Chain A
Amino acid sequence: NAGVMQNPRHLVRRRGQEARLRCSPMKGHSHVYWYRQLPEEGLKFMVYLQKENIIDESGMPKERFSAEFPKEGPSILRIQQVVRGDSAAYFCASSPMAPGQTYEQYFGPGTRLTVT
């Protein structure tokens, strides 16, 4: 069973461009979470999605950031008009059941975004 897959693993964007990060959860997992890790800091929760629904986006910046998890295909984290402060590692995690039914999340290898 393949683990959580993220691509690209490394992404370089110039200021003002758009960044699209993709996450394919583990097979059978319908709950996806996105986290951001700024340099020299721990991971911070951004958003929790189920298929076609955003459940909790309390950690998501109010502007320029959006996330989706369509019925078919991977979850996408989209950052519009990137700035240097967006440079970070973005991790996706998935779980087979809803929070409260399971507490274990399986993390992907991350996408390292560099904004030049």
Chain B
Amino acid sequence: DAKTTQPPSMDCAEGRAANLPCNHSTISGNEYVYWYRQIHSQGPQYIIHGLKNNETNEMASLIITEDRKSSTLILPHATLRDTAVYYCIVSLTNSGYALNFGKGTSLLVTP
């Protein structure tokens, strides 16, 4: 699986958009980009995933660059409950379960 690089930490003011970047320059054509988050002491929570096109769901939007070497997770209106560690993971389509989480980005949403 391709390696991902994320900033170790970010801050965001409550109510503003949180934009979390991820670099995956060695991604191959059939690898998906997944985003999960882990709130302190809890199990990870699936957020969104995508292959080439931008994706949106009730939680977030995923913007993948045309060359697929990087992506951005957007939380449009961050709340205090969005404070968590966010993981960007790249994995093959037929082994999307064998996710290996890196160190992620610790997002702190402040009042």
Contacts and interface: CB of A to CB of B under 8 A. Distances in A.
A42 B43 contact: no
B98 A48 contact: yes
B93 interface: yes
Contacts, number: 62
Interface stretch (B12-20, B44-52, B63-71): B44-52
Interface residues of B, number: 22
B97 A48 contact: yes
A109 B97 contact: no
Contact of B43 (A4, A31, A41, A95): A4
A110 B98 contact: no
Given A95-B97, A100-B93, A42 B46 contact: no
Given A42-B102, A44-B100, A93-B43, 19 more contacts: A33-B97, A35-B99, A42-B87, A42-B101, A43-B101, A44-B101, A45-B98, A48-B98, A59-B100, A91-B43, A99-B94, A103-B32, A103-B49, A105-B46, A106-B46, A107-B44, A107-B45, A108-B43, A110-B42
